[in-house]
Amino acid sequence: MPLTDHDWFTEVCDEAGSAFSLRITKKLYTERTRYQTIEVFETSHFGNLLTLDGFVMLSARDNFIYHEMMTHPALYTHPNPKRVLVIGGGDCGCLREVLRHSGVVSAELVELDERVTRISERFFPELCAANDDPRAGLQFTDGVAWVERSEAGAYDVIIVDSTDPIGQAARLFQAPFYASCRRALGDAGVLVVQSESPLIHAELIQAIRAEMAAAGFQQVSTLHFPQCTYPSGWWSATLAGGPGAHTDFREAAAREQSFATRYYNADIHRAALAQPSFMQDRKPQ
Protein backbone atom coordinates (compact mmCIF):
# COMPACT_ATOMS: atom_id res chain seq x y z
CA MET A 1 0.00 0.00 0.00
CA PRO A 2 1.29 3.52 -0.78
CA LEU A 3 2.09 5.81 2.13
CA THR A 4 -0.50 8.43 3.04
CA ASP A 5 -0.44 11.76 4.84
CA HIS A 6 -1.02 9.87 8.08
CA ASP A 7 2.31 8.05 7.78
CA TRP A 8 4.29 10.91 9.27
CA PHE A 9 5.55 11.65 12.75
CA THR A 10 5.20 15.39 13.38
CA GLU A 11 6.50 17.38 16.31
CA VAL A 12 4.94 20.83 16.67
CA CYS A 13 6.98 23.64 18.22
CA ASP A 14 4.31 26.09 19.32
CA GLU A 15 6.70 28.79 20.54
CA ALA A 16 8.29 28.96 17.07
CA GLY A 17 5.12 28.45 15.05
CA SER A 18 6.82 25.55 13.28
CA ALA A 19 6.75 21.78 12.95
CA PHE A 20 9.11 19.02 11.91
CA SER A 21 8.03 15.76 10.29
CA LEU A 22 9.59 12.43 9.39
CA ARG A 23 8.00 9.85 7.13
CA ILE A 24 7.43 6.65 9.08
CA THR A 25 7.12 3.15 7.69
CA LYS A 26 6.20 1.36 10.89
CA LYS A 27 5.57 1.89 14.59
CA LEU A 28 7.96 -0.50 16.31
CA TYR A 29 7.11 0.00 19.98
CA THR A 30 5.04 2.00 22.44
CA GLU A 31 4.97 1.94 26.23
CA ARG A 32 3.56 4.16 28.93
CA THR A 33 5.99 4.10 31.86
CA ARG A 34 5.62 5.63 35.29
CA TYR A 35 7.14 8.83 33.91
CA GLN A 36 6.32 9.18 30.21
CA THR A 37 5.22 7.60 26.95
CA ILE A 38 8.06 6.05 24.98
CA GLU A 39 7.60 5.32 21.29
CA VAL A 40 9.93 3.95 18.61
CA PHE A 41 9.24 4.32 14.90
CA GLU A 42 10.93 3.05 11.79
CA THR A 43 11.38 5.93 9.34
CA SER A 44 12.01 5.93 5.63
CA HIS A 45 15.25 7.96 5.69
CA PHE A 46 16.38 8.51 9.30
CA GLY A 47 16.46 4.97 10.66
CA ASN A 48 14.78 4.30 13.97
CA LEU A 49 13.25 7.25 15.80
CA LEU A 50 12.85 7.51 19.58
CA THR A 51 10.26 9.88 21.04
CA LEU A 52 9.21 10.73 24.60
CA ASP A 53 5.73 12.16 25.14
CA GLY A 54 5.58 13.05 21.45
CA PHE A 55 8.94 14.87 21.33
CA VAL A 56 11.87 13.69 19.23
CA MET A 57 14.74 12.41 21.36
CA LEU A 58 16.95 10.97 18.64
CA SER A 59 17.09 9.36 15.24
CA ALA A 60 19.59 6.76 14.13
CA ARG A 61 20.75 9.04 11.32
CA ASP A 62 21.73 12.26 13.12
CA ASN A 63 22.17 11.50 16.84
CA PHE A 64 25.97 11.31 16.47
CA ILE A 65 26.19 15.10 16.20
CA TYR A 66 24.41 15.69 19.49
CA HIS A 67 26.19 12.95 21.42
CA GLU A 68 29.65 13.98 20.21
CA MET A 69 29.09 17.67 20.94
CA MET A 70 27.65 16.95 24.38
CA THR A 71 30.73 14.98 25.42
CA HIS A 72 34.02 15.61 23.64
CA PRO A 73 34.18 19.41 24.05
CA ALA A 74 33.71 19.05 27.82
CA LEU A 75 36.22 16.23 28.14
CA TYR A 76 38.83 18.08 26.10
CA THR A 77 38.22 21.23 28.15
CA HIS A 78 39.10 19.43 31.39
CA PRO A 79 42.88 18.92 31.78
CA ASN A 80 42.64 15.24 32.75
CA PRO A 81 39.10 13.86 32.99
CA LYS A 82 38.91 10.60 34.88
CA ARG A 83 35.56 10.59 36.69
CA VAL A 84 32.50 11.46 34.61
CA LEU A 85 28.82 11.66 35.54
CA VAL A 86 26.02 11.67 32.94
CA ILE A 87 22.64 12.88 34.20
CA GLY A 88 19.81 11.68 31.96
CA GLY A 89 20.96 10.32 28.64
CA GLY A 90 19.13 7.04 29.06
CA ASP A 91 19.73 6.15 25.39
CA CYS A 92 23.40 5.77 26.47
CA GLY A 93 24.84 7.63 23.47
CA CYS A 94 26.71 10.11 25.67
CA LEU A 95 27.98 7.29 27.88
CA ARG A 96 29.38 5.55 24.81
CA GLU A 97 31.20 8.70 23.67
CA VAL A 98 32.63 9.37 27.14
CA LEU A 99 34.10 5.88 27.28
CA ARG A 100 35.96 6.39 24.02
CA HIS A 101 38.42 8.41 26.13
CA SER A 102 40.96 5.92 27.46
CA GLY A 103 41.86 8.17 30.39
CA VAL A 104 38.36 7.93 31.86
CA VAL A 105 38.38 5.49 34.78
CA SER A 106 34.70 5.68 35.70
CA ALA A 107 31.55 6.93 33.97
CA GLU A 108 28.25 6.80 35.82
CA LEU A 109 24.95 7.30 34.06
CA VAL A 110 22.02 8.35 36.27
CA GLU A 111 18.69 8.02 34.43
CA LEU A 112 15.30 8.41 36.08
CA ASP A 113 13.42 6.05 33.74
CA GLU A 114 15.13 2.67 33.32
CA ARG A 115 12.77 1.79 30.48
CA VAL A 116 14.44 4.39 28.23
CA THR A 117 17.68 2.45 28.54
CA ARG A 118 16.14 -0.99 28.13
CA ILE A 119 14.22 0.10 25.04
CA SER A 120 17.35 1.74 23.62
CA GLU A 121 19.27 -1.49 24.14
CA ARG A 122 16.68 -3.19 21.95
CA PHE A 123 16.20 -0.63 19.19
CA PHE A 124 19.46 1.37 19.29
CA PRO A 125 22.07 -1.24 20.28
CA GLU A 126 24.86 0.79 18.69
CA LEU A 127 24.32 3.52 21.29
CA CYS A 128 24.49 1.02 24.13
CA ALA A 129 27.66 -0.70 22.95
CA ALA A 130 29.64 0.52 25.99
CA ASN A 131 27.07 -0.40 28.63
CA ASP A 132 29.08 -3.49 29.59
CA ASP A 133 32.35 -1.59 29.82
CA PRO A 134 33.76 -2.24 33.32
CA ARG A 135 34.22 1.51 33.76
CA ALA A 136 30.49 2.14 33.22
CA GLY A 137 27.89 2.29 35.96
CA LEU A 138 24.14 2.58 35.32
CA GLN A 139 21.97 4.01 38.09
CA PHE A 140 18.20 4.37 37.68
CA THR A 141 17.23 7.09 40.10
CA ASP A 142 16.69 10.83 40.44
CA GLY A 143 19.70 12.72 39.05
CA VAL A 144 19.09 15.85 41.12
CA ALA A 145 19.14 13.86 44.35
CA TRP A 146 22.17 11.89 43.17
CA VAL A 147 24.22 15.06 42.68
CA GLU A 148 23.03 16.51 45.99
CA ARG A 149 24.32 13.38 47.77
CA SER A 150 27.64 13.28 45.91
CA GLU A 151 30.83 14.06 47.78
CA ALA A 152 32.57 17.36 47.10
CA GLY A 153 34.91 17.05 44.14
CA ALA A 154 33.62 13.58 43.26
CA TYR A 155 33.63 14.22 39.49
CA ASP A 156 35.78 15.88 36.88
CA VAL A 157 33.00 16.31 34.29
CA ILE A 158 29.23 16.32 34.67
CA ILE A 159 27.13 16.01 31.49
CA VAL A 160 23.43 16.89 31.75
CA ASP A 161 21.77 15.14 28.81
CA SER A 162 18.24 16.18 29.70
CA THR A 163 14.95 16.57 27.92
CA ASP A 164 13.38 20.03 27.51
CA PRO A 165 12.89 22.03 30.74
CA ILE A 166 9.39 20.66 31.36
CA GLY A 167 8.12 18.80 34.42
CA GLN A 168 10.79 16.88 36.34
CA ALA A 169 13.49 18.05 33.91
CA ALA A 170 12.90 21.72 34.79
CA ARG A 171 14.92 21.20 37.99
CA LEU A 172 17.99 20.49 35.85
CA PHE A 173 17.98 24.08 34.56
CA GLN A 174 17.97 25.89 37.90
CA ALA A 175 20.62 27.40 40.18
CA PRO A 176 20.17 24.94 43.10
CA PHE A 177 21.02 22.02 40.81
CA TYR A 178 23.94 23.89 39.27
CA ALA A 179 25.21 24.69 42.77
CA SER A 180 25.14 20.98 43.63
CA CYS A 181 27.09 20.27 40.43
CA ARG A 182 29.58 23.00 41.31
CA ARG A 183 30.25 21.34 44.68
CA ALA A 184 30.43 17.83 43.19
CA LEU A 185 32.94 18.99 40.57
CA GLY A 186 35.46 20.98 42.52
CA ASP A 187 37.30 24.02 41.19
CA ALA A 188 38.74 22.38 38.04
CA GLY A 189 35.58 20.54 37.05
CA VAL A 190 33.50 21.10 33.93
CA LEU A 191 29.71 21.04 33.64
CA VAL A 192 27.93 20.81 30.29
CA VAL A 193 24.17 20.97 29.75
CA GLN A 194 22.06 20.78 26.62
CA SER A 195 20.69 24.29 26.23
CA GLU A 196 18.09 24.18 23.45
CA SER A 197 17.92 26.24 20.24
CA PRO A 198 19.66 29.65 20.08
CA LEU A 199 17.17 30.72 17.42
CA ILE A 200 14.08 29.92 19.50
CA HIS A 201 15.33 29.82 23.08
CA ALA A 202 17.94 32.61 23.32
CA GLU A 203 16.34 33.92 26.51
CA LEU A 204 16.52 30.45 28.07
CA ILE A 205 20.22 30.22 27.20
CA GLN A 206 20.77 33.61 28.80
CA ALA A 207 18.93 32.37 31.91
CA ILE A 208 21.00 29.16 32.02
CA ARG A 209 24.21 31.16 31.86
CA ALA A 210 23.00 33.49 34.59
CA GLU A 211 21.94 30.58 36.81
CA MET A 212 25.36 28.96 36.33
CA ALA A 213 27.09 32.18 37.32
CA ALA A 214 24.84 32.51 40.37
CA ALA A 215 25.78 28.95 41.35
CA GLY A 216 29.48 29.86 41.44
CA PHE A 217 30.70 28.95 37.97
CA GLN A 218 33.10 31.66 36.81
CA GLN A 219 33.63 30.53 33.22
CA VAL A 220 30.62 29.95 30.97
CA SER A 221 30.52 29.38 27.21
CA THR A 222 27.91 28.16 24.74
CA LEU A 223 28.66 25.80 21.87
CA HIS A 224 26.57 25.77 18.68
CA PHE A 225 25.92 22.84 16.36
CA PRO A 226 23.33 21.65 13.80
CA GLN A 227 20.68 19.13 14.80
CA CYS A 228 18.11 18.77 12.06
CA THR A 229 15.59 16.69 14.05
CA TYR A 230 15.31 19.28 16.86
CA PRO A 231 13.28 22.51 16.59
CA SER A 232 14.90 25.02 14.19
CA GLY A 233 17.72 22.57 13.32
CA TRP A 234 20.16 24.65 15.39
CA TRP A 235 21.08 23.43 18.87
CA SER A 236 23.47 24.28 21.68
CA ALA A 237 25.34 23.03 24.73
CA THR A 238 26.49 25.33 27.51
CA LEU A 239 29.70 24.62 29.41
CA ALA A 240 30.64 25.97 32.83
CA GLY A 241 33.78 25.75 34.92
CA GLY A 242 34.90 26.81 38.37
CA PRO A 243 37.83 29.12 39.12
CA GLY A 244 40.37 26.36 38.48
CA ALA A 245 38.91 25.24 35.15
CA HIS A 246 40.75 25.84 31.88
CA THR A 247 39.56 28.76 29.80
CA ASP A 248 40.30 26.87 26.57
CA PHE A 249 40.37 23.26 25.39
CA ARG A 250 43.23 20.83 24.84
CA GLU A 251 43.37 21.43 21.11
CA ALA A 252 46.47 19.34 20.43
CA ALA A 253 44.90 16.33 22.17
CA ALA A 254 41.68 16.81 20.20
CA ARG A 255 43.65 16.82 16.94
CA GLU A 256 45.48 13.64 17.91
CA GLN A 257 42.55 11.71 19.37
CA SER A 258 42.92 7.96 19.13
CA PHE A 259 39.27 7.21 18.28
CA ALA A 260 37.11 8.06 15.30
CA THR A 261 34.32 10.64 15.40
CA ARG A 262 31.84 11.49 12.67
CA TYR A 263 31.25 15.17 13.47
CA TYR A 264 33.49 16.39 16.27
CA ASN A 265 37.07 17.50 15.63
CA ALA A 266 39.31 20.28 16.91
CA ASP A 267 38.28 22.71 14.16
CA ILE A 268 34.58 22.06 14.80
CA HIS A 269 35.20 22.63 18.52
CA ARG A 270 36.94 25.94 17.86
CA ALA A 271 34.24 27.08 15.45
CA ALA A 272 31.41 26.04 17.77
CA LEU A 273 32.68 28.47 20.41
CA ALA A 274 32.12 31.45 18.09
CA GLN A 275 28.99 33.38 19.02
CA PRO A 276 26.54 34.84 16.49
CA SER A 277 26.18 38.60 16.81
CA PHE A 278 22.76 38.50 18.47
CA MET A 279 24.14 36.24 21.23
CA GLN A 280 27.29 38.21 21.98
CA ASP A 281 25.60 40.60 24.39
CA ARG A 282 23.97 37.79 26.34
CA LYS A 283 26.48 37.53 29.16
CA PRO A 284 25.96 35.82 32.51
CA GLN A 285 24.45 38.31 34.96
Tens-digit pLDDT profile for residues 126-135: 999 999 999 9
**Structure confidence at residue 31 (pLDDT):** 98
**Structure confidence at residue 121 (pLDDT):** 98
Sign of the torsion angle spanned by Cα atoms 106, 102, 273, 247: positive
Q: Is the pLDDT of residue 222 over 70?
A: yes
Say if CB 191 and CB 182 are below 8 A apart: yes
> What is the Cα–Cα distance from 168 to 27, expressed in whole angstroms?
27
**Structure confidence at residue 165 (pLDDT):** 67
Q: Is the pLDDT of residue 285 over 50?
A: no
Apex 180 CA angle, 176 and 181, nearest 5: 115
**Structure confidence at residue 242 (pLDDT):** 85
Three-state SS at 82: coil
Q: What is the pLDDT of residues 154-207, one digit of tens each?
A: 999 999 998 766 666 677 778 889 999 999 998 889 999 999 999 999 999 999
More confident call, 173 vs 70: 70
**Structure confidence at residue 79 (pLDDT):** 94
**Structure confidence at residue 4 (pLDDT):** 53
Q: Is the pLDDT of residue 1 over 50?
A: no
Q: What is the mean pLDDT of residues 218-235?
A: 96
**Structure confidence at residue 282 (pLDDT):** 53
Q: What is the pLDDT of residues 244-279, one digit of tens each?
A: 887 799 999 999 999 999 999 999 999 999 999 888
Say if CB 229 and CB 268 are below 8 A apart: no
Output 167-174 pairs: Cβ under 8 A, ≥24 positions apart. Answer: 168/35, 168/112, 169/88, 171/144, 172/87, 172/88, 172/143, 172/144, 173/204, 173/207, 173/208, 173/211, 174/211
Task: Report the share of the chain in percent with pLDDT over 90.
Answer: 86
Q: Is the pLDDT of residue 233 over 70?
A: yes
Three-state SS at 235: strand
Q: Which residues are catalytic?
A: 161
> What is the Cα–Cα distance from 196 to 61, expressed in whole angstroms?
20
Q: What is the mean pLDDT of the chain?
A: 93
**Structure confidence at residue 284 (pLDDT):** 45
Q: Which domains does the chain have, with CATH numbers?
A: 8-59 (2.30.140.10), 63-279 (3.40.50.150)
Q: What is the mean pLDDT of residues 215-219?
A: 92
**Structure confidence at residue 167 (pLDDT):** 66
**Structure confidence at residue 164 (pLDDT):** 67
- Report in angstroms the alpha-carbon separations of 238 from 67, 77, 258, 273: 14, 12, 25, 10
Nearest by Cα to 69 from 234, 252, 210: 234
> What is the Cα–Cα distance from 164 to 16, expressed in whole angstroms?
15
Task: Report the share of the chain in percent with pLDDT over 70.
Answer: 94
Q: What is the DSSP letter of 276?
A: P
Q: Which helix (H) or strand (E) holds 77?
A: helix 63-77
